[in-house]
Every structure is written in C-alpha cells, then in structure tokens.
A = this chain, B = another copy of it.
Amino acid sequence: MTRQEREQGRREVLERAVYGPSSSPGNRKFVELFASMPLRLELGGSLSHVVVAFETWGTLNPEGSNAILVLHALTGDSHAAGPAEVGHPTPGWWNHQIGPGRAIDTDKYFVVCPNVLGGCQGTTGPSSVKPGTTTPYGSLFPDITIRDQVAVDIELSRALGINRWKGIVGGSMGGMRALEMAIMAPQLVDRMMILAATAAATAEQIALCSIQIETIISDPQFLGGDYYNVGDGLGPVAGMAIARKLAMYSYRSELEFQSRFGRKLQGDQVADGVGNFAIESYLENHAVKLNERFDPNSYVVLSKAMNSHDVARGRGGLSEVLSSIKVRTFVAGVDSDRLYPIWQQSQLAEHIPTTELFATIHSKYGHDAFLIEAEQVAEFISKSLG
C-alpha cells in the first residue's frame, strides 16, 4: 500500500465511520469490517459485518509512524480519554495517560482505542443486531477467543491504513490482546507495552472467571442469553451484580480493603453485627454502576475469551512461543496484584528476548493499579515510548 493509497483509505474510513447511531456521542466513530469476507473464528463459526466502535485523539503524521493502539480491559471501552459524555458516564478510563503533554501525548501521537469484539459499547457483540435479522445475537453470539479479538484489531489497522503501530499498549485483557497481536502480526507492531497481564490464563484465573460466568448464566433472567426486550428487560442483573462484586475483590487488595473499610459500617450506622458493612456497600455500588453500563452477555463472552487465553495454544511450548517474539517489549506488573500476580509479568519479561523494560508498580490497589497509579504508569509508558 502506498502512502497515498493509505491516506485515501483512511480518509474514506474516517468519513464513513460516523455512520452509527445518529445520536453517536462525542468522539466515537464506527467502522464496518468483514463485510465481504466473514471473520472465521478460532473455535468455529464466523462473524460478518463486524462493526467496531473506536475513538481517536491526535493526528496521524504523514509517515504514518506515530500511531498508538490502546486496548482496554474487560469492562472498558473505546472511551480511554475525554470527559464524561452521553453514553460514557465517566471520564476516559486512562484520562490521565492520554492527552496533550501526557505520557501518551496527543500532540505527538495519533491514538486509537477500539471497543473490543464481543463488547457492548458500539463494537459487535451479543447485544448487537445480528446481520440479516432484526434481533440481537443473544444466545447466537459465538464463543470467541483473544485471537479473534486481535483478528479484528488487525483488520481495523488495515482499514485505518496503519501499516505499523508505533506502540500497542494494554492492561489486563488489553495486555493479552497486545501480546497476541505481537505474535499474530509482528509486522504491525513496533513495540508493545503490557501491564498486569499474563501469557496464559492460569487455573486460578479460570476459576474466578468461571464462577462469575456461572453467577450470570444461572440467574433465571438470563434466559439462555436471550433476555433482550423480554420480561422486565433488565436481564440477569442480580447475577451480574454478584460477578462484579467478586471481580472487585480480585481487582483490589486486602490491604486496601482493610485500611479503607475495615469493619466500618455503612453511613452513620453504629450497631455492629452481621450486616451493613461499608465493604458491602462499596461492592454494591460497583455492582449497580456496572449494571447500568454493561451487558451481561458481553461479560460472559469476554470472560470466556480470557479463559481461552494461552499464547502457546497450537504453537508449541509456552517458553518456546514467548522466546520467538521479536517485537520490542515493555512489561509492568503490580506488586499487590492477586489476579494477575507479578510472577506472570516477570515470566513474560524473562522469556521474551526483546524485552527492554520490566517495571514493578508499587501499590496497595492490586490489579486495578494499572488504572489508578497514574504517575507510575505514566513513567512506564514514557520510558517505553522513549
């Protein structure tokens, strides 16, 4: 692809992009991929007419050499930066990292953040209308893997005319995607920055994801996944509330919970006993908030995708696969992360021969530190981008 063709293609895509709901809020754009040729899925089946919602910040330079791909975690979306807006009730999840003068400097870089395949914030997922029908996929949405998500990210790169990303960065599930992309399409990636992720989901991570999946699918309102526009229209909110509470436990640390809540009660209650603890209120608030913005089917589909994550699947031994990576690699872990413990990032750094940096984020916030510890994360990203 010549530079001219690339620019032409990108212009067309970006012009076509705003074709989604006319109420499409703020910065979000949409592109349709796999329209002529369906995406063949790793576990069987296919998806066609895959819509990807994405946001961009900054300007691509004429050489196309300043593009950065930001990949979100399980319940994240394309709104990595920017203020709260319609459809995005909170500011960008990495607002403190992306912007003019920030670690991912939008005066220097062209930054792209797509919503993941299987998600529920604009990209095709179980709540999307199935092409050729008038109803959402629901139970018909297929099982997908991290590799399927990355196949979409690769196609998006092509659609945007980006031949090579200056950097791909992601935490948690976003880190899994970055890692798979470096293996599946190394020619597209100058460097990857992985935070709090792993080479392969462990038994423990599978256990936690599976329990969360079970809380959702065993909620009678799940209706096998076809709960859209049925009954009260709420779907399995009780099951997803429990899943979110367990997830929050896994995202944070004992130290944080104990120093922040201890045995305190909600509000100004004084009686002690068997309930109404502040920690319960905290978990409940998180559960309510997630139910307001996230589709339980997406939660199930993405949790299964994370369980599938194993860079070694079908490729040989784990260390062999990691050793074959040739993309410049920058890895960070959190010392209090109990979900993706730091030995897993250390494993990546040890086995990937092109690792240039292994950083430890010191925090009491556990896994979520990659979202919270703004200064340390910024330092890691700045060093990685050189």
Contact = CB atoms under 8 A, between A and B. Distances in A.
A242 interface: yes
**Copies of this protein, total:** 2
Tell me the dominant secondary structure on chain A's binding face: helix
Interface string A128-147: 00000000000000010100
B307 A277 contact: yes
Nearest to A264: B203
A208 interface: yes
Contact of A275 (B262, B272, B307): B307
Contacts of A215: 215, 242
B308 A211 contact: no
A283 B238 contact: no
Nearest to A318: B263
Interface residues of A, number: 51
Interface string A101-129: 00000000000000000000000000000
B274 A43 contact: yes
Contacts of A272: 308, 310, 313-314
A231 interface: no
Nearest to A254: B204
A219 B242 CA distance: 11
A224 B145 CA distance: 39
Nearest to A219: B218
A120 to B, nearest CB: 18
Interface in A241-284: 241-242, 245-246, 249, 254, 257-258, 260-263, 272-275, 277-280, 283
A201 interface: yes
A206 interface: yes
Interface of A: 42-43, 143, 145, 200-204, 206-208, 210-211, 214-215, 218-220, 238-239, 241-242, 245-246, 249, 254, 257-258, 260-263, 272-275, 277-280, 283, 304-305, 307-308, 310, 313-314, 338, 341
7 contacts: A43-B274, A202-B257, A203-B257, A208-B249, A210-B283, A211-B249, A218-B219
